[in-house]
């Protein structure tokens, strides 16, 4: 069972597994999409409205990347009008746990965050 030290040591430092996962889900929307899919399958349009501010393009490419890495599944129903559902794969569902840990840390410490920043900026 590896710890951070093991992960960030030797010839795998820069290309460590931490880097890998951040490169995949560290972008602007991936974790948000995963969080929303946690509650069950969603259609493309649903996600578009549930994530204010996201563009069609970014929703599309984000979903494609997540599907490519096996985190979400895409199911297309050949109807008219077309219907496409996205859902978390087991792999994606397992990722939701560490993501939740990160989100809860952010929620718990948001005040310290802002306070420190204000102090820093006040001196500059």
Q: Which residues of this protein are in contact with a second copy, per CB under 8 A?
A: 1-5, 7-8, 13-14, 16-22, 24, 26, 31-32, 35-36, 38-39, 50-54, 67-70, 91, 94-107, 109-110, 112-113, 115-117, 120-121
Structure tokens at 84: 């496409």
Strand partners, 75: 85
In whole angstroms, give the CA distance from residue 94 to residue 108: 22
User: Apex CA 104: angle with CA 119 and CA 65, to 5°?
Assistant: 105
* 63: CB partners within 8 A, 6+ apart: 33, 44, 47, 72, 74, 86
Partner whose footprint covers residue 60, from DNA, a second copy, none (CB < 5 to 8 Å by kind): DNA
Interface positions, 53-72, toward DNA (CB under 7 A) = 53-58, 60, 63-64
Site string for DNA, 74-113 (x = CB under 7 A): x-x----xxxx-x---------------------------
């Amino acid at each position: 069972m590896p710890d951070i030290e093991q992960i960030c040591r030797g010839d795998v430092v820069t290309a460590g597994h931490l880097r890998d996962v951040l490169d995949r889900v560290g972008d602007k929307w991936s974790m948000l999409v995963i969080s929303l899919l946690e509650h069950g399958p969603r259609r493309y349009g649903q996600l578009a409205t549930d994530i204010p501010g996201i563009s069609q393009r970014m929703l599309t490419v984000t979903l494609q990347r997540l599907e490519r890495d096996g985190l979400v599944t895409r199911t297309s129903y050949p109807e008219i009008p077309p219907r496409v559902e996205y859902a978390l794969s087991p792999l994606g569902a397992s990722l939701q746990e560490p993501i939740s840990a990160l989100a809860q840390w952010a929620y718990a410490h948001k005040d310290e965050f802002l306070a420190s920043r204000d102090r820093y900026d006040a001196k500059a």
